[in-house]
Amino acid sequence: MRRRSRFVLLVVAAVAGAALLGACGGDDDDGGGESVSVTDGRVTVEAEDTKYDITQIDTVPGLLDVTMVQRGNLDHTFVVEDADGNDLDGKLAVNGQDEDSGTFELEAGEYEYFCDIPGHRGQGMEGTLVVE
């Protein structure tokens, strides 16, 4: 019985540790985010803590309407930067529980988007916009 008790205790500890690691993100967690393909010229990006829910947006040249929705309590921005490091017109900003929308005119190429609140981009609040 004593061996069985140790085995059960080890199994319980292993399961609890795995659950805790999963809840904390573990070493293989890249901070979340997914890739989306935009076909209708509109995309909604959610901002929470110091991450966006989308880390890559694929779209076609032309106008892209972006809505940023706040899901947390921190202020955030959504800035699009071209390959030369120039910010495009249309910076979005949210604070509290609100949203902001804007339109970006995009030519074929690759752009970076990010939150320009100090420290947020460095914590992973950025993504790539691929236009082809």
Indicate if 21 and 72 belong to the same structural domain. no
Give per-residue pLDDT as tens, 73-103: 899 999 999 999 999 999 999 987 799 999 9
Q: Give me the DSSP letters along 57-121.
A: EEE-SEEEEEEEEE-SSS-EEEEEE-TTSPBPS--EEE-SS-EEEEEEEE-SEEEEEE--STTTG
Same domain, 62 and 50: yes
Range of the domain at 55: 31-131
Backbone region of residue 42 per phi and psi (left: phi > 0; alpha: psi in -120 to 50; beta: other values): beta
Distance CA 106, CA 63 (A): 6
Q: Is the domain of 17 the same as that of 62? A: no
Looking at the fold, whether 65 and 19 belong to one and the same domain comes out as no
List, for residues 35-76, the tens digit of each pLDDT value.
999 999 999 999 999 999 999 999 999 999 999 999 988 999
How many distinct structural domains can be found in the chain?
2
pTM: 0.75
Clarify whether residues 8 and 59 are in a common domain: no
